[in-house]
Amino acid sequence: MTAADHEPTPATPVALVTGAGKRLGRAVALRLARDGADIVIHYRASEREARDAVAEVEKLGRRAVAIAADLNQVPQIKNLFAETAKQFGRLDILVNSAATFVETAFAETTEEDWHASLDSNLKAPFFCSQAAAPLLKATCGVIINFADVGGILGWPGFIPHSISKAGVIMLTRTLAKALAPEIRVNAIAPGTIAMPGDPPEWERDFIQLAPLRRTGTPADITEAVSFLVNAKFVTGHILVVDGGRSL
């Protein structure tokens, strides 16, 4: 028997991805499963899609659970992380990917539009991070927030959205200071990522403006997430993945 036979088996990392039932959140959850993590699939209303995502993760040989929560309600956020601790006993990775994308002209923006963007895109990541922090400190874990180039450039047709994503950038930087050295906090700011069902003009306009002359793919984003999970000397960084659009 060698010394290696006495070494404990490393615990399987656990990742919680918000909004993981569909679109980019689902792609991120599957990538982290391929990288070796067990997955908490958060969803709000997309129960069928979340159950399908769980099945996909399990096909990859990893454990997965789907947990519902309205991230606009702080008590439900707290329950999401309490249930995660109950199911897995740990948390290593939090990806705050759930978001809304509300288009409103300046003169037509209502209070409801404002809250829809700020609550979902900024308030929720803050309180998810707050609830996750005790678990992540125990594992020296990582938080990855989702901003986007609207938070850098500012889009007149999406003012509340742009402000919320600019807030995510500052949230990332301040949390990186507040939670160091145990927890690293970074963000990804994607450009337009081609997804089924999106308006074709989004892709057309982006291609005209981006130096690389293409939209991004889900794989571009999941690769960035995987990098930030493993970049042990990176915190407070905003990784812009936009084909040069923000130039």
Please check the confidence at residue 203 and state whether its pLDDT lies above 60: yes
Q: Band of the pLDDT at 3, cuts 50, 70, 90? A: very low
In the chain the first and final C-alpha atoms are separated, in Å, by 58
Task: Report the length, in residues, of the chain.
Answer: 247
Strand, helix or coil for residue 132: helix
- pLDDT tens by residue, 21-80: 999 999 999 999 999 999 999 999 999 999 999 999 999 999 999 999 999 999 999 999
Mean pLDDT of the chain: 94
- Of residues 210 and 71, more confidently modeled: 71
Can you tell me the mean pLDDT for 202-210?
Answer: 85
Kindly report the backbone phi and psi dihedral angles of residue 135, in degrees, each rounded to the nearest multiple of 5, phi listed first: -70, -40
Can you tell me the mean pLDDT for 76-94?
Answer: 98
Can you tell me the mean pLDDT for 192-212?
Answer: 85
Per-residue tokens: 176:
């990186």
Strand, helix or coil for residue 188: strand
Can you tell me the mean pLDDT for 84-90?
Answer: 98
How many CA atoms lie within 13 Å of 75's alpha carbon, on the beta-carbon side?
A: 0
- pLDDT tens by residue, 223-233: 999 999 999 99
Q: Is the dihedral of CA 200, 28, 69, 146 positive or negative?
A: negative
> What region, left, alpha or beta, does residue 123 occupy, with left being phi > 0 and alpha being psi -120 to 50 degrees?
alpha
Per-residue tokens: 166:
């600019």
- Domains of the chain as residue ranges with CATH: 11-241 (3.40.50.720)
**CA distances for 56 relative to 29, 43, 195, 226, angstroms:** 10, 15, 19, 18
In the sheet with 238-241, reading across from the earlier edge strand, the strands are: 64-68, 38-43, 14-17, 93-96, 142-146, 184-190, 238-241
DSSP string, 37-86: -EEEEEESS-HHHHHHHHHHHHHTT--EEEEE--TTSHHHHHHHHHHHHH
Can you tell me the mean pLDDT for 207-225?
Answer: 93
